[in-house]
Amino acid sequence: MTRSHMQNQPPRLATLPLEAFAPSDAWIIDDTDMSSADRLQLYVAAEEIGDAHTEFIRNPASAITLPFSQRSDVLFFRVNAIVLAVCTENGALAGGVSNHVPIVFPAHRGLGIGRDFHLVADENGMILFQPEYFSRAGYAARLAAHRVAVLQAMREGRVVHPENRMRYRNAR
């Protein structure tokens, strides 16, 4: 593949100001605000994630492990164009991203998996999703991912946007 035909990698989260990654005026919706088309999109994504997990169980070699340094209780895999979050303890499907739609299944919500989809994408040079709107939890996950990515970059001496350095200067 020639250089001109190679996909550009997205900028690392730490190099993006927070406002560029999670705009303060972002459109945040509740379940009651979702249109029938939005609900259908979620349903289809959940079905595709489930099908990819079935394929993963049937043929683990079909998956590409996505390296992720932040946790060991959930591993992330790519099966075709779908990213899966799989619990290491029992192989349960915790969530996934299909067609740029992230889903964390109810039993696994509140564990930081939504945040970690962003961080996995950041570590692996991927763009998983760029939503037009957010759920409250999705927006919170985006804020948390940005914070974690910037703090880690500062600890590692990597490039950090000056605005981020100021924003998180007292954070640990």
128-142 residue pLDDT tens: 888 888 999 999 999
Q: What is the pTM of this model?
A: 0.89
93-143 residue pLDDT tens: 999 999 999 999 999 999 999 999 999 999 998 988 888 889 999 999 999
Contacts of residue 43, defined as CB under 8 A and 6 or more positions apart, other chains included, come to: none
Cα 111 to chain centroid, rounded: 13
